[in-house]
Structure 1
Amino acid sequence: MPGPHVAEPAPDAPSGGDGGRPPAAVVALLAGVLLEAVALAVFAGAVVVDLVRGATAGVGVSLFVIAFFAGLAWMLVAAARALWRGRRGGRAPVAGWQVFQGLIGVALLTGGAAWAVAAGAVALALAVGILVGLMTRPLVRHTID
């Protein structure tokens, strides 16, 4: 005899919690990830502006940087959507970017210029905060498939 029917969450509904909005800790973490995605998109836009104005020496390098930053921004948005929906597959790309961003932050801290040190401190703090947030109980519980 078959057992009782167990209702499964809809594919678009978060699997953690009550099927509604993710916990506040998850929402805060996702806000940080989306802030990083926006920053990457802004940087890509700035390179586009430089390219259009002719202020860049290498067109190929500029096109690569635009594609790279835009691709990273898209990846972070896609990963954030997966995490919002309770999918654990979004954790790895976000964690990978945090490690890379942390290394960039450390390099900027040793840059010497005040703007580089400030940017490095912000990048490093954001990377560490999000990386630690990915390992917290609310996010792990929310993203159990």
Structure 2
Amino acid sequence: MITHFCPHCWAEIPAKSVVCPHCGADLSGFEAETFEDKLLEALHHSLPERRIMAAQILGNIQSRRAVPLFEQILQSEEKDFFFLRAVLLSLAKINPPQCRLWLERAAQHPSILVSRFAQELLARLDRGQPLDEWERHLG
């Protein structure tokens, strides 16, 4: 059985809903949204796996529109290491001008796992090493 979620509040909704019964969002135009728009919205999905997948794909397609959202995530109280790892890797793949600043900040993250990964990404970028399309630890 397929579970359906509102793309705005991520509450579970009945299939073929036109209006979200939880937040009142109009769902009639969702199918017309671009793939990139859907991925950007999925960064706030209630299921961690969906957020991680969205972050990885946004990095793979070099979505510059994802950069401000990635920065918001890095500034937030987000604690999910795997999601932060996907966001950092995607930010490094897109490599906007402020990428180094965000990786340096992440290298000071209270989580040793996040800080070590940011340091590893900085080293790889400094050496000009390519970044894998799919992160080996995330699937």
Q: Between Structure 1 and Structure 2, whose CA radius of gyration is higher? A: 1
Output the TM-score relative to the length of structure 1.
0.30
Q: Judging by fraction of residues, say which structure has more helix.
A: 1
TM-score by length of structure 2 reads: 0.31
- By relative contact order (CA 8 Å, sep 6+), the higher-ranking structure is 1
